[in-house]
Amino acid sequence: MSLFDLRKSYELATLTESDVAADPLVQFDRWFQQALEAELEEPNAMTLATVGANGRPSSRIVLLKGFDLNEAATGASGRGLIWFTNYASRKAAELALHPYAALQFHWIGLERQVRIEGTVERTSAAESDEYFASRPLDSRIGAWASPQSEKVASREFLDAEHLRYAQRFGAEVPRPAHWGGYRLVPTYFEFWQGRPSRLHDRICYGLDGQGVWDIARLAP
Ligand SMILES: Cc1cc2nc3c(=O)[nH]c(=O)nc-3n(C[C@H](O)[C@H](O)[C@H](O)COP(=O)(O)O)c2cc1C
């Protein structure tokens, strides 16, 4: 089988300027609800791209754990999209240098892609505590056991660290200071709906000088 022959026509839906919400987070919420209703696997898995000290990009998947629909629930710089990770990881080091990132969802079962770009800040300690406390016990221990992004000697090292922290904490695992959330406060959104003949619908949102979202169509 040649990869040249791997292709698919996208026919499920359309997206027009008049369909979309004026507020891109409202539009994101609509599509996210539809991804949930379609029972897509891990609809909250998203690619997070950051920029290293050398100016080069790197990316990995993280799980979206919240987004701010209402003005009331916002970070210091505004409403955004939230994920949790290790503050000593490679991505965290890159975000400390360049607090800008790109997020990307591929909802393959709906023939959709969403791209989001913006500035990144840490969530409040209270937000990180709240989510950390909701995690299963083993995941909370894992946050202590794994020096994320560092080279480790072996699998056995990780298992031994997990056991060590499990014995140390029992059922009461505090959030490590090196673990918490980030919020990307968007400055750009693009909603992509696959269409036949590669003439896909792309509707983007950018902020104008007054902080109002400007909606436009991009060529596919
Ligand atoms: C489906 C999926 C979900 C993931 N979710 C997270 C997450 O929410 N937080 C996280 O730190 N890593 C998550 N990871 C692991 C990251 O992709 C990555 O390996 C890790 O964060 C280290 O990245 P870094 O070395 O670039 O910092 C996930 C991986 C996959 C495949």
Q: Spell out which residues line ligand 1, taking CB within 6 angstroms.
A: 42, 45, 58, 60-63, 83-86, 89-91, 148-149
Residue-level pLDDT at 171: 94
Q: What would the two tokens of residue 113 be?
A: 């892609």
Exposure pattern of 73-111 as b/e (b: 16+ CB <10 Å)?
A: eebeebbbbbbbbbbebebbebbeeebbbbbbbebeebb
Q: What are phi and psi of 138, to 5 degrees?
A: -65, -35
Closest ligand 1 atom, residue 45 Cα = 1
Among 16-20, 95-99, 190-194, 208-212, the range scoring the smallest mean pLDDT is: 208-212
17: exposed, middle or buried (C-beta count within 10 Å: 0-12, 13-18, 19+)? exposed
> Does the annotation count 198 as an active-site position?
yes
CA 181 / ligand 1 centre spacing (Å): 13
Closest CA to 133 of 172, 94, 177, 183: 172
Query: Model confidence over 153-209: pLDDT tens digits?
Result: 999 999 999 999 999 999 999 999 999 999 999 999 999 999 999 999 999 999 998
Residue-level pLDDT at 72: 72
For the domain bounded by 8-136+176-218, which CATH number is listed? Answer: 2.30.110.10
Q: If you write DSSP's letter for every residue of 5-36 in order, what string do you get?
A: G------S----TTTS-SSHHHHHHHHHHHHH
Please choose from 59, 60, 91, 132 the residue to mutate so as to test ligand 1's pocket, defined by most ligand atoms within 8 A of CB.
Answer: 60
CA 60 / ligand 1 centre spacing (Å): 6
Closest CA to 191 of 205, 178, 179, 209: 205
User: What is the 3-class SS of 64-81, one letter each residue?
Assistant: CCEECCCCCCCECCECCE
Q: If you write DSSP's letter for every residue of 100-161 in order, what string do you get?
A: EEEEEEEEGGGTEEEEEEEEEEEPPHHHHHHHHHHS-HHHHHHHHH--TTS--S-HHHHHHH
Please choose from 85, 105, 151 the residue to mutate so as to test ligand 1's pocket, defined by most ligand atoms within 8 A of CB.
Answer: 85
- Whether the pLDDT of residue 10 is over 80: the answer is yes
- Whether the pLDDT of residue 71 is over 90: the answer is no
183 SS3 class: strand
pLDDT, mean over the chain: 96
Cα 172 to chain center, whole Å? 28
CB 85 within 8 A of CB 139: no
- Whether the pLDDT of residue 1 is over 90: the answer is no
CA 209 / ligand 1 centre spacing (Å): 35
Domain boundaries, the chain: 8-136+176-218
What is the Cα–Cα distance from 106 to 127, expressed in whole angstroms? 27
Residue-level pLDDT at 88: 98
This prediction's pTM: 0.97
Residue nearest to atom 10 of ligand 1 (CA): 85
Residue-level pLDDT at 163: 98
Residue-level pLDDT at 74: 76
Query: Model confidence over 24-49: pLDDT tens digits?
Result: 999 999 999 999 999 999 999 999 99
Question: One of 175, 198, 202, 217 is an active-site residue; which one?
Answer: 198
- Whether the pLDDT of residue 147 is over 80: the answer is yes
